[in-house]
Each structure stands twice: as structure tokens, then as C-alpha cells.
Structure 1
């Protein structure tokens, strides 16, 4: 009788442990590429802690328990290979025109809008007409980025030869080059200008930001074929974050526009080959 009771208790304990572990085992991990794109991802080597992407993934993880979104560090040029090889399942804050044309993916509208702007040193008499012509000016650009004025050609040799560009891996360095008159114009996101001013109040009023946009970002999330989450599921999660105000709380302080809603989430997804 004692042996029987022990077996029953042992069996119940095992059943409880199995049931307790089941939701965790069923949770699917979605690897999200973390490539330098401040203020979205501040530094690739610190992508788990820095930038807006980790905040967004925390919100997605708290929203549901079917998927666990985690950052997997990558780089701007390497993210294509990582995506095709399945090392990353999802690349956020993207534009399908940024080198993805030949890579199979599904695109989900994130309902977020940012823009790339031109930034120059503020000088007496200098106005918005300064940005009308780029030729003959020294440009400070981020190595590997796709720029509208260059028809999204990110080849360093093309940019240095045709646009007198200096390429770096730091937006702060590019803006400091402008501030110290070592470059005439830097290109950064509107959200990054806000972030820079927040961190460097001593430069208030010293930068002239263009009304002219190099490109407008209608941010997309790109999913690889066979990703653990479907485009429709991801679109629904974004809509829930939009509805509960979390997208606005994360992105609005950085002057990133949050749309009131995507008219049809299913229509916002598509496959590009």
C-alpha cells in the first residue's frame, strides 16, 4: 500500500512538473537582428541593452506568451546572410529597397514613420537653401547605409568618389565632424537628432537641420520564410501595442510618428521575392 501511494505521489509530481514546464517548452523563440541603427539599436555589441529595439521586444514579450523575441547581434551588411541562413528570423525598421530585392521575405507594416535629414553647422546667414545642392560639399555618412540622394547605392567607393563622402561607424562622430567644421553636411535620422541633443545639451542651437528629407522611413518588419511567427500574427501584435498605447510611449518621445492604425493588417503583409 505504501509503495502504491509513493508511486501515485511520484506520478502526480511528475505530471505537475510536466504541465508547469509545458508553456515554456511551447514558447517559440524569434531571433531579431540587432544591427547598428541608432536610436533603434545603439551598439551591436550592446544590442540587448541599448536602443528602442529592446524596448519594443520587451513590450512584445509582455503582451503574450506564445513567442519570445530576443535580439541576435548582427551588422548592416551581414544581416542579409544571417537572414537567408536562418540565424535571424526577423529584421525590424527596414525598407525592402535597402538591398532586400533578391531575398525572399514577408514585409509587415510597423505603422512607424521616421525620416533621414541633412544636418549642417548653423552659421549667420545660412538657411534652408544650403541643402539644395550636395555636390561640392563634404558629406559625413554612416558606412553601409543606403541613402536616397545616392539612389540607395551603399558602395563606399561610389560614395567617396561621387559625393566627397567620409564614411564612419558613428553618427555622433559624423555630427561632431560637422560641429568642428571637418564636414559640411551629415545625414542622420530625425530621431537621432533628438537623441543627440538630449545627450549633448552643450551643442544646442549649433546645428541646422534640413526641412528637406533625404528619405522618409515607413518602417517595415521583414520575416524570413519559415520564421516561427507568421506575418499575420506579427501584424496583430503590432496592432495590440498600438491600441494599448505602448508604441506611442516607446517611439513618440523620439519624434517617430505612430500611425493611428493599419487599415487592414493582412493587407500590410506581403511576400517579395
Structure 2
């Protein structure tokens, strides 16, 4: 074969190989939501979302998933304006009703629970009535007890709530007597107690659950990946045990997907 023919053949091979090897970039919004995403704006790659993204990228080559830092309040506009293609560990009920999206059930469940300071006379019935109690809440979260109304004025006015951007701060408020009850994600509380084992005996943890987090991935209509394609990638991670390895340590349950 002549030199010119070999050069032409190599060029053709390179051209035809390109579509197969060029992964499509999929940008996932990363808002501070521990232990799922922890301070993404600092460039830290800790949390469950970075672990999931790493597993997704390792398991296939059609898509390259990257994290784009956002925030709880800003994530809606970032999604609508196309700065991100996907929001993960979300629920369509959390303010997404008027935002066009495709919801993919991730088959993951977590819970929001109540935590108080342990005292000799305190039992589970302490959590049954929130009236007159000082609540420590995470700003921007949608709570079931408040009918998913995240408006700060409503929460401070109706529920005597202090709003922060830190579960750690809310738990410390409870431990120091500055708040009566904090609401925290169960997976976060497990992580917190692992990091602060001396705190465990000081906390009264509710059997009452404010809400079950059934997690969805929300995909923008113009995203480079479809809901069906992303669902297949998640199923692959479920089948090979990677989803279990990532989420089981935090007592995040793998459950059958259901229609929303």
C-alpha cells in the first residue's frame, strides 16, 4: 500500500472513530446537601454525589459527567438557563412543578427526622406537637410538616424557626439549648455521629419521620442524555453492586422505582 493510501486510510479511521470515542458532556448541579454534596463551591470532591459520578464515568464511555457548583436557592435558575443539564437527589415536589424536566426515579430513599437534646423526662411524644418549640431548620429545604412551604418568613413566623445553611450548626443549637428540635436528614445524622461519637448519648432521635426522601434525577429537556439512557446507567450500577456500596453505609435504602 502506498504512503498516500495509508495516510488516507488512517485519516478515515480517525474520522469514523471520533463519534464512538467522543463522550457527551453532562453537567450535574451540585448544591450543598450533606452527605450527598458537601461544599462543592470549595472544589471538594467529598460526598455521595462525587462518588456516584465517579462510578457513572467508570462504567461507560458515552457520557462524561461533571459537577457544576450551584446552591439550594440558585439551582432552579441554573437548570432553566441551561447552566446544568441535570439535578440529582431531587424530588419534583420541591419547587420544580413549573420547571420543564424529565424525572428519573433513582430507587433511593432517605428520611428527614427530628432530633432533640436527650433529657430524663423526654420521650418520643416530645416530637408529636411542634407548637411552642424552637425549631432549627436548613434554609431552602421543603419540609412536610410545613406543607413543603420553604418561605423563610412563613417558617420563622409560623414555627419559631431559625434557618441556617448547616446541619452541624442546627445540631449544636439543640445540644447547647438554643433550639428545641432540629430536623436533619437521617443519612447526615449517621455521618455526624460517626464523626462525633461523644454526641450520640446526648441526642434524642425521633421515631417520627417528617418525610421520606424518594430521590429522583431531574433532566433538562435539552440535555445531551435522555431519561431512558440515564436510567439504564443507574440500573447497571445497581446490578453490579456499586449503588449498594455507595449508599448502604448511610442507611440510604435501595428500593424499587415507582412512578411519580
TM-score, normalising length: structure 2: 0.94
Distance 1:174 1:74, change over 3 A: same
**Maintained 8 Å contact 1:48/1:54:** no
> In the TM superposition, what whole-angstrom CA distance separates every residue of 1:218-256 from its partner, at most 9, and x where no partner exists?
111111112111111111111111111111100010010
Deviating 4+ runs (over 2 angstroms) = 7-25
**Maintained 8 Å contact 1:150/1:159:** yes
Q: What is the aligned counterpart of 1:151 among 147, 153, 170?
A: 147
Distance 1:129 1:47 in 2: 42
> How many residues are aligned here?
260
Q: What is the aligned counterpart of 2:135 among 139, 149, 168?
A: 139
Deviation at 1:142, TM superposition (A): 0.8
**Where in structure 2 are there 5+ consecutive unaligned residues?**
none
Deviation at 1:125, TM superposition (A): 2.2
Structure 1 window deviating more from structure 2 (199-208 vs 102-111): it is: 199-208
Q: Does 1:163 align with 2:159?
A: yes
Equivalent position of 1:236 in the other structure: 232
Distance 1:55 1:143 in 2: 25
Q: What is the aligned counterpart of 1:30 among 21, 26, 32?
A: 26
**Maintained 8 Å contact 2:112/2:209:** yes
TM-score, normalising length: structure 1: 0.89
Deviation at 1:18, TM superposition (A): 4.9
Q: Does 1:187 align with 2:188?
A: no
- Aligned CA RMSD, in angstroms, stands at 1.9
Q: Does 1:105 align with 2:101?
A: yes
Question: SS where residue 201 of structure 2 aligns?
Answer: coil
Q: Does 1:85 align with 2:78?
A: no
Q: What is the aligned counterpart of 2:212 among 189, 211, 216?
A: 216
**Maintained 8 Å contact 2:133/2:160:** yes
Q: What is the aligned counterpart of 1:247 among 243, 248, 253?
A: 243
**Where in structure 1 are there 5+ consecutive unaligned residues?**
none
Distance 2:21 2:41 in 1: 27
